[in-house]
Structure 1
Amino acid sequence: MSGHGDPIPMTSRACGPLTGRAEVPGDKSISHRSLILGALCVGETTISGLLEGQDVLDTAQAMRAFGAKVTDLGEGNWSVQGVGVGGFAEPDGVIDCGNSGTGVRLIMGAMATSPIVATFSGDASLNGRPMARVTDPLALFGCQTVGRSGGRLPMTLVGAQDPVSVRYTVPVPSAQVKSAVLLAGLNAPGQTVVIEAEATRDHTERMLAGFGAEISVENTEEGRVITLTGQPELQPQHIEVPRDPSSAAFPVCAALIVPGSDVLVPGIGLNPTRAGLFTTLREMGADLTYENEREEGGEPVADLRARFSPDLKGIEVPEDRAASMIDEYPVLSVVAAYAQGETVMRGVKELRVKESDRIDAMAAGLRANGIDLQDGPDWWIVQGRGHGNVAGGATCASHLDHRIAMSFLILGMASEKPVSVDDGGPIATSFPIFEPLMGQLGAQINRTES
């Protein structure tokens, strides 16, 4: 089942050229953070281009539960009347974060240093995901947690009565953990320091600075050292959310493998901590160009043009690029299936603790569709078959994971036989217009009988 209703089986089949404009939704990471930081201001923050997928709507509802006034003004425009740093009220009910690991972990951080109690839950997928990676550093501030075995939701957090500042080295690359610690540090006196050996997406640091927090970033021998001065008065902002590069990955990758395709994906955020997939595709020989490069809201932005690329080659993806494209490895593995030679992906153990074990999920589905691959604890290698040689024909399990479902639907757009997924319902969590958008480009995706 999907996290929010009955299963929605879908089938994708080979189609003619994909052409036109693919106007993908707003960036999910920035949408979550806009709502949370808006709630931590005193005054009104306005947001345009907010992603209105279920994950972000759940975060909006959570901010209401903590006392902020969050209003949908229509057409992606939203208003947040904040309560200020340390101003969260104790919610009356359980905070339901649906399918969103980002949402729950960031919200936990934001409330961990307020003297309130909140209980968090989610759908079956989220309730199976590990939370200790966030709750352990939050405990250093004085926050207490009680949850299910293995550090899983449902979980109750008792915010710190007298929070202390923290110096924390992130053990594995994770923007969610880093961001949770920084958000907790907002209501702790003194300076909270986060050290990451490998840079991860930096939207939180950029947005904190934009909202007026005193924050600095320094590259040292220890790694990337982020220092935040606690208890600021954040200033309300207007946020224009760029379009999501993780969503753009799907029409871009589809255009590369479907003969004759030429697709323009306008206004995509190209933050260097997020753009690893596009760099990798170009190294594989993809006809992928950046047009109208510019800056919007402190983030680099460009229009992406992707054209059919019949001569893609497998490569070894640099291990240090993993953090900048961790959500895109599933769809990269689909492109790799249509390339010549091996595509090697290492340093990707984070994929095993996403909405699903994405390595296992993609490996099983690709093998069922005739693709050879090898996989290990933190690596996988896809043996490409080249254009026109992917068999297809299988039904793949999505495991309540939106990116797994969309990746297999992309696979079916150029395979010999149709490819199905058992449940496309979770796609709504991040890319609610995926079906009509791909259909307008020329894709053949149909809902099928379960």
Structure 2
Amino acid sequence: MAHAGHDPKPASARSGSPLRGRLRAPGDKSISHRSMIFGLLSIGETVIEGLLEGDDVIRTAKACEQLGATLIHDGPGKWRVHGVGIGGLKEPKDVLDFGNAGTGSRLMMGVAGSHPITSTFDGDASLRSRPMRRILDPLEKMGINVVSQTEGGRVPLTIKGPRETIPVTYETPAPSAQIKSAVLLAGLNSPGETVVIEQEATRDHTERMMKLFGADITSVPHGQFGRKITLKGQPTLQGRKVIVPSDPSSAAFPLVAALIVPGSEVVLEAVMMNPLRIGLIDTLLEMGADIEQMNIREEGGETVADLKVKHSSLQGVSVPAERAPSMIDEYPILAIAASYAQGTTRMNGLHELRVKECDRLDAVAAGLEMAGVSFEIEGDDLIVHGTGSVRGGGPVQTHLDHRIAMSFLIMGLASETPMTVDDSTMIATSFPTFVPMMKSLGAAIGD
């Protein structure tokens, strides 16, 4: 699918030797975005190690600079951020261009919008097609004025912050860490208490990092699966040191590769084991995966572990809908594991996949069809009938979605014939070292 100004780069993967070795997947994208943002909102210096230097995070870093932060790059993954503190943001002279960064743009709407400045947000063709209205709705309740927007509340859009943001109690309409985080980040510059209620608990990186930087924030159970988060506004945040753990969403690719390629044994270092992010690991263990946690420790306010992964005979399972928030980005690669499992894997409640970089549910289904895998979609459920082996094929349409591209390249490492994807350029947004890292384990991936 060619886009204006975009030169697609097809790639293919084929089966070969077992995968062996150790690697540290890139720093967690969620923590990387937030460490930059909290550096901006803090007084003093924030030192970051292991930052994911993909395009998405660099766009967030540039936006922080436009809003007043001073950034010093000390080497690969090493950054120092001198912040301006809550209330200290300056009006950006130019458009805040987030490229393909959905997380960065949505979080920053809460940050910039809660200050008495005007800022314009834009991005690439993919970001321009993605819904922002569910972020803007609660921000408008907080007094933030959407001056102009593209139809359906999409970027490019311009927001103007009030003299003083209004604290709210807000119940999120869908389980989304991005909605929650945008409201909490706006709440930092509101007097009084901002409360977010979610019916299903979503990833809690924002709350953990707020606490690390000195905010007064509490989170208590609410209902059967939910949380009630209360933030006291207008704290003084202090710069901190953040070691960014390895991203479980990126580690998922070499992890599943080691499970499906016969004879493989791989160690993945310092993977974040936040309980709200390891739904994929929980699911793979239920499927019979040989994954051993070693050297469990704390980094960047999060629990991390080294994972030893060996080739395994997987069995089909049913994945409950309430697990979706803890593995929403991992369903494409789970569909690959399910293709190599024996029996049926049913993934329930995947409606959120329809509003990602593309309609990921349709994109996964089209790729499975191309590879000769039997599946059905029933409503928002994906049902994959695994036979233990995959034919292969392509080219799979990636729709500018990095996770679709990486998932089907991993599929090709054990398929009977190679797998091809129509474009691999966008992999750089989240995992710029994906191809060389996989090759270092012995994977046959190339143009």
Query: Fold conserved (TM > 0.5)?
Result: yes
Q: Alignment partner of 1:181: what SS?
A: helix
| Amino acid paired to 1:395 | P
Residues 1:253 and 1:2: Cα distance change in structure 2 (over 3 Å): farther
Q: Could you say which residue in structure 2 is the equivalent of 1:236?
A: 239
User: 2: distance between equivalents of 1:60 and 1:299?
Assistant: 22
For 2:407, the aligned partner's letter is: S
- Aligned mates of 1:360, 1:139 — CA distance in 2: 33
1:315–1:407 CA distance, 2 compared to 1 (3 A): same
Range that drifts further, 236-245 or 213-222:
213-222
Give the match for residue 302 of structure 1. 305
Is the 2:14–2:413 contact (alpha carbons within 8 Å) kept by the matching residues of 1? yes
Question: Bigger shift: 371-380 or 273-282?
Answer: 371-380
Whole-Å separation in 2 of the counterparts to 1:220 and 1:364: 38
1:282 aligns with 2:285: yes
| Deviation, structure 1 residue 73 | 1.0
Secondary structure class of the residue paired with 1:37: helix
Structure-2 separation of matches of 1:90 and 1:131: 21
Report how far residue 4 of structure 1 moved.
8.0
Q: Which moved more, 1:295-304 or 1:165-174?
A: 295-304
- Partner Cα distance (1:410, 1:2) in 2: 25
Tell me the distance in 1 between the aligned counterparts of 2:39 and 2:143.
24
Deviation at 1:104, TM superposition (A): 0.4
**Is residue 195–residue 231 contact of structure 2 (8 Å, CA) maintained in 1?**
yes
* Deviation by residue 1:159-201 (Cα, 9 ceiling, x = unmatched): 1223110100011110111000000000011000000111111
C-alpha separation between the residues in 2 aligned to 1:2 and 1:442?
A: 33
What residue number does 2:403 align with? 403
How big is each residue's C-alpha offset from its partner over 1:290-334, in whole Å with a ceiling of 9 and x where there is no partner?
11112223211100111111x210100122111000000000000
Per-residue deviation at 1:3? 9.3
SS of corresponding position for 1:125: helix
CA distance in 1, matches of 2:36, 2:193: 24
1:363-419 per-residue CA deviation (whole Å, 9 max, x = no partner) reads 001111101111144211111121xx3111211011111101000100111111111
What's the counterpart of residue 76 of structure 2? 75
Q: Which amino acid aligns with 2:304?
A: V
TM-score (norm 2): 0.97
CA contact (8 A) 1:275 1:325 kept: yes
Work out the CA distance in 1 between the residues paired with 2:374 and 2:154: 34
The aligned residue for residue 50 of structure 2 is: 49
The answer to whether the 8 A contact 1:7-1:424 is kept is yes
Question: What is the letter of the counterpart of residue 150 of structure 2?
Answer: R
One-letter amino acid matched to 1:353 = V
Match of 1:98 in 2: 99
**Counterparts of 1:193 and 1:393, CA distance in 2:** 49
- Pick closer, same or farther for the CA change 1:3–1:281 going to 2, 3 Å: farther
Structure 1 position 2, deviation (Å): 7.2
In 2, Cα distance between equivalents of 1:362 and 1:25: 24
CA contact (8 A) 1:244 1:269 kept: yes
Equivalent residues of 1:3, 1:98 under 8 A apart: no
Does the Cα contact within 8 Å between 1:167 and 1:192 map onto a contact in 2?
yes
The separation in 2 between residues aligned to 1:34 and 1:297, in whole angstroms, is 9
Matches within 5 A, 1:157-176: 157-176=159-178
- Encode CA deviations 1:128-152: one digit per residue, 9 max, x unaligned: 0000010111101111212111111
State how far apart, in whole Å, the 2-side matches of 1:432 and 1:92 are: 30
How is 1:82-93 mapped onto 2 (pairs within 5 angstroms)?
82-93=83-94
Report if aligned partners of 2:392, 2:419 keep a CA contact under 8 Å in 1. Answer: yes
Distance in 2 (alpha carbons) for counterparts of 1:240 and 1:443: 29
The answer (yes or no) to whether the contact 2:199–2:223 under 8 Å persists in 1 is: no
Other structure's SS at 1:409 match: helix
Q: What is the CA-CA distance between 1:220 and the residue it aligns to?
A: 3.0
Name the amino acid aligned to 1:314.
Answer: G
- Supply the AA of the counterpart residue of 1:68: A
Render the CA deviation track for 1:85-113: whole Å, top value 9, x for unaligned.
Answer: 01111111111111111010001111111
Which whole-Å CA distance do the structure 2 matches of 1:2 and 1:439 have between them? Answer: 29
Aligned to 2:66: 65
Matched, 1:330 2:332: yes
**Residue from 266, 276, 282 that aligns with 1:263:** 266
Aligned to 1:293: 296
Deviation track 1:195-247 (CA, whole Å, cap 9, x = no partner) reads 01111110100000111101011113383110001111101101011111110
Letter in 2 for 1:347: G
Given candidates 245, 251, 256, the residue that maps to 1:253 is: 256
Structure 1 pair 116–3 and aligned structure 2 pair: CA distance change class (3 A): farther
Does the CA-based 8 Å contact 2:74-2:80 persist in structure 1?
Answer: yes
Superposed, which structure 2 residues align to 1:110-259 within 5 Å? 110-145=111-146, 146-221=148-223, 223-259=226-262
For the residues of structure 2 that align with 1:180 and 1:2, how far apart are their CA atoms? 30
Which residue is equivalent to 1:427?
427
Residue 288 of structure 1, CA deviation = 1.1
The one-letter amino acid paired with 1:444 is A
The letter for the 2-side match of 1:400 is L
In the TM superposition, what is the alpha-carbon distance from 1:116 to its structure 2 partner? 0.7
Cα-Cα RMSD: 1.2
Q: What is the letter of the counterpart of residue 382 of structure 2? A: W
Distance 2:269 2:153 in 1: 41
* Structure 2 SS opposite 1:83: coil
Conserved? CA contact 1:3–1:123, under 8 Å: no
Q: Name the CA distance, whole Å, in 1 between partners of 2:223 and 2:280.
A: 27
Contact 1:269 1:302 in 2 (8 A): yes
Please tell me whether the aligned partners of residues 9 and 423 of structure 2 are also in contact (alpha carbons under 8 angstroms): yes
Partner Cα distance (1:136, 1:340) in 2: 45
Unaligned runs of 5+ in 2: none
Whole-Å separation in 2 of the counterparts to 1:159 and 1:347: 36
Query: Is 1:17 the counterpart of 2:18 in the alignment?
Result: yes
Structure 1 residue ranges without an equivalent (≥5): none
Checking the alignment, whether the CA contact within 8 Å between 1:393 and 1:417 is kept in structure 2 is yes
* Partner SS, residue 237 of structure 2: coil
Measure how far apart 1:6 and its partner are. Answer: 1.7
Code of the aligned partner of 1:15: G
After TM superposition, the score normalised by the length of structure 1 is 0.97
